[in-house]
A and B are shown apart, each in its own frame.
Chain A
Amino acid sequence: EAGVAQSPRYKIIEKRQSVAFWCNPISGHATLYWYQQILGQGPKLLIQFQNNGVVDDSQLPKDRFSAERLKGVDSTLKIQPAKLEDSAVYLCASSSRDRGVEAFFGQGTRLTVV
């Protein structure tokens, strides 16, 4: 089966600019996660969707970050305006209801804010 697709792979922006990341999960996977991974740290959950509904967004900085999952398939994560501390790899993962929380990750988008 095809894996989780993310784009772009790399993005460099100036602080206060906006940026958007896209994720296409594995076909049929109901659960979609966005994680932020700062260099040298473990992935930190930003938001979790079940189909097109938000299950958990307690760690999402809602003053600047937003995410949506249209029709329960693809998802976009947006940052506006970006700060220097947003520099990180943004990982998307998905899992199937039938397999519980066995999550499969995409390659991530490396964001550099200058």
Chain B
Amino acid sequence: GENVEQHPSTLSVQEGDSAVIKCTYSDSASNYFPWYKQELGKGPQLIIDIRSNVGEKKDQRIAVTLNKTAKHFSLHITETQPEDSAVYFCAASPYSSASKIIFGSGTRLSIRP
């Protein structure tokens, strides 16, 4: 089955700097890669996703890149702000109407003022 590895487990960056979180996956059948943000006491919230027919996707300060050959995908947050502090999870899934989503172990991002 699918296995998703995520690193780093913790990341501290200065406000205004960029943050990068990296993930690898094992199942070549996976073609959908969502990223979730989880704040304290809340459920994970989808912030951006990418499908395998695209190498990069951007939404304001957030971007994701995908390298299917290497089975790597990454989340990039630019111009970080205090409200970006949270735990971020990557995930992988075959894109269909009934496919399970396998999560990485999470990255706790802290933004220093």
Chain A residues packing against B (C-beta within 8 Å)? 4, 30-31, 33, 35, 40-45, 48, 50, 55-56, 91, 93, 97, 100-108
B residues lining the A interface (CB < 8 Å): 4, 6, 32, 34, 36, 41-46, 49, 89, 93, 95-106
Known: A42-B89, A101-B96. A33 touches B101 (CB 8 A): yes
Cross-chain contact B101 with A42 (CB below 8 angstroms): no
A62, chain B: closest CB distance, angstroms: 17
CB distance from A69 to the nearest CB of B (A): 13
Q: Is the CB of A31 within 8 A of B43?
A: no
- Our pick among B43, B46, B97, B98 for the contact of A91 (Cβ within 8 Å) is B43
The residue that B43 contacts in the complex, of A30, A56, A107, with Cβ under 8 A, is A107
- Least Cβ–Cβ distance between B58 and chain A, in angstroms: 18
- Given A43-B89, A102-B34, check contact A55 B41 (CB 8 Å): no
